[in-house]
Amino acid sequence: MSRIPQPSEAAVLEVQNLRITYGNTIAVENVSFVIERGEVFGLLGPNGAGKTSTLSVIEGLITPESGTVLLDGTDIRQHRSQAMAKIGVQLQATSFQPELTISQVMRLFAGLYDIKLSDSEIRERLEAEGLTAEASKRFKQLSGGQQQRLSLSIAVVHDPVLLLLDEPTSGLDPQSRRQLWGRIEHLQKEGGSILLTTHSMEEAQAICDRIAIIDHGKLLTLDSPQNLIKKHKDDPRVRKVAHGKVTLEDVLIGLTGSEIRE
């Protein structure tokens, strides 16, 4: 198992010894990782691996049985409201009020954070997402890629210290996916810190600085995409599933198994 980075002043998120249970079922067991400020960090694993439970704790939606989660130095269990104000979340599918124009949607959600956006500020934000021409369109009239770009803009409207992206490009065509990658990379260049879940190994390898692979509630390995391949390329389990040169997907499948998870 990879060495878990120790907490530092540069860390935006510190997860230590996280344990999550549902009745007698252990969903997450002794998971620890640190996300550095300005880092895109991928949390990967098959369905049922424990990713969603881990994210739910970080988002403050559920309380773990034990463990510590510090967001920008704030313990989310002790100061939940303060910590949640520092997080932005974009889900796999987001449904805003379908009859509102996207300008109205942006103004509404900015207001939830007590942020007043002028018409020019809204135009600037929509322009950054390539949505200027759609400003007067209703949300339901947008394509899937446009909806996800709007969702991303709203997720960062309050300048969160950590952005959670839960399979943000699922179901998008290649052009929309690459456009969203560009926005994520731009946010990182501006100093943003991002926790990403995805089933696309191409996506993880393209935009993540480091990746943690989790399965059956346990963290199996953690490193940069290139180092994960280098570290596990000679593992018999990985070699067994590889077709030629070992890829990040081969590493994931080799470590977590080939069976289909529902």
For residue 240, the model assigns a pLDDT of 95
Locate 249 and state its tokens: 């997907």
CATH number of 1-86+161-262: 3.40.50.300
Q: For residue 197, what pLDDT is reported?
A: 93
The H-assigned helical ranges of 68-138 are: 80-84, 102-112, 119-128
Percent of the chain with pLDDT strictly greater than 90: 66
Region 39-67 average pLDDT: 94
Sign of the torsion formed by the C-alpha atoms of 74, 76, 82 and 86 = positive
Average of per-residue pLDDT across 23-40? 96
Query: Are 79 and 102 in contact, with CB atoms under 8 Å apart?
Result: no
pTM for this model (two decimals): 0.89
Q: Domain limits of the chain?
A: 1-86+161-262, 91-159
Q: 40-44 and 194-197: which strand pairing?
A: parallel
Residue 3, pLDDT above cutoff 50: no
Q: How many CB atoms lie within 10 A of CB 107?
A: 19
% of the chain with per-residue pLDDT over 70: 95
List % helix, strand, coil for the chain (3-state, nearest 5).
Answer: 35, 25, 40
Among 98, 50, 57, smallest CA distance to 76 is for 57
Quickly state the pLDDT bin for 176 (edges 50, 70, 90).
confident
